[in-house]
Each structure stands twice: as C-alpha cells, then as structure tokens.
C-alpha cells in the first residue's frame, strides 16, 4: 500500500527549518509544508484515478488509489449546497477477510478511487422534493380560518 502523506522533505517532519541570519541561527516555520510536517506522497492525491471520494456515496465499498479498501461512512458536513466536502470518513477494511474495524478514519475527499465494488443509486441532488413545504393537514401551519 502506498501512503497518502509522507514526512516533509525539507524539514523531515519537524515543521521548522534552521536559517542562518548574519552570524546567528534562527528557526522558522517550514515554507514547503507550511508547518504541517507532511506532504503528499508521490502520485497522491489522485493516483491517476478519475473518480474521487467526494464523488461517491456513503455505504459504498471502494478501493482507493493507494490500494486500501474501505467503506465510505459519511462526508463532512457542507457549509452550503453544491460544495465539495473536504473530509470523508472511511472504515478501513481490515486484513485478509476484509472485516470492518468500526473506527471512522478521516481522509481527504480528493483522494482518488480506482474501483467501486458496491455502487449505490445516484440521488438527484438538485431535486427540491424534500424541502420544507406547507402541510395543509397540520393545524399549526394552516392559515387563520382556513378549513380543509
């Protein structure tokens, strides 16, 4: 399996770089990894795949571009509609028998998906049939004096 992240090549994961100014040494935050201490592995995040985790539905069994098999549990809540989620929570299938670990693992939603084992029906996200509407049978929502 190929990792998604590797330690930063500039700071080796320490998040700080020594800089010589005049005759003094100063430490600064690593500019290459922006202080995270990690960077994408070679080939990541897409791994040459055209599908990403953000494109798939919860409940599907997928093979990620790095070779891991997982079940999509849920996507991080979106602040607005039509926004691609930043994080997807996966249940990494464990070992030879592919049993579930029941431990949600956050993954970036931009990770490539090489194959989907159990595809779910695509839901039309543009449909507004589940939006709130006035219910004429609810007495609290009736107009004053209106009868059925």
Q: Assess if CATH 2.30.29 describes domain 43-120.
A: no
- Each residue of 22-54: pLDDT tens digit? 888 888 888 888 888 898 888 889 888 999 998
Distance CA 106, CA 77 (A): 13
Sites in the chain below the pLDDT cut of 70: 1-2, 121-136, 139-148
The length of the chain in residues reads: 148
- Each residue of 66-75: pLDDT tens digit? 888 999 999 9
Domain ranges of the chain: 1-41, 43-120
Distance CA 36, CA 19 (A): 18
């Amino acid at each position: 399996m190929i990792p998604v992240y590797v330690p930063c090549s500039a700071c080796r994961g320490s998040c700080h770089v020594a800089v010589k100014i005049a005759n003094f040494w100063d430490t600064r935050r690593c500019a290459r990894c922006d202080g995270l201490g990690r960077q994408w592995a070679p080939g990541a995040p897409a791994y040459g795949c055209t599908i990403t985790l953000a494109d798939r539905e919860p409940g599907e069994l997928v093979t990620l571009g790095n070779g891991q098999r997982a079940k999509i549990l849920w996507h991080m809540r979106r602040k607005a509609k039509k926004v691609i989620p930043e994080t997807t929570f996966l249940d990494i299938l464990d070992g030879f028998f592919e049993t579930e670990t029941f431990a949600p693992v956050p993954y970036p939603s931009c990770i490539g998906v090489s194959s989907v084992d159990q595809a779910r029906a695509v839901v039309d996200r543009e449909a507004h049939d589940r939006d709130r509407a006035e219910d004429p049978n609810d007495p609290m929502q009736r107009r004053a004096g209106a009868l059925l």
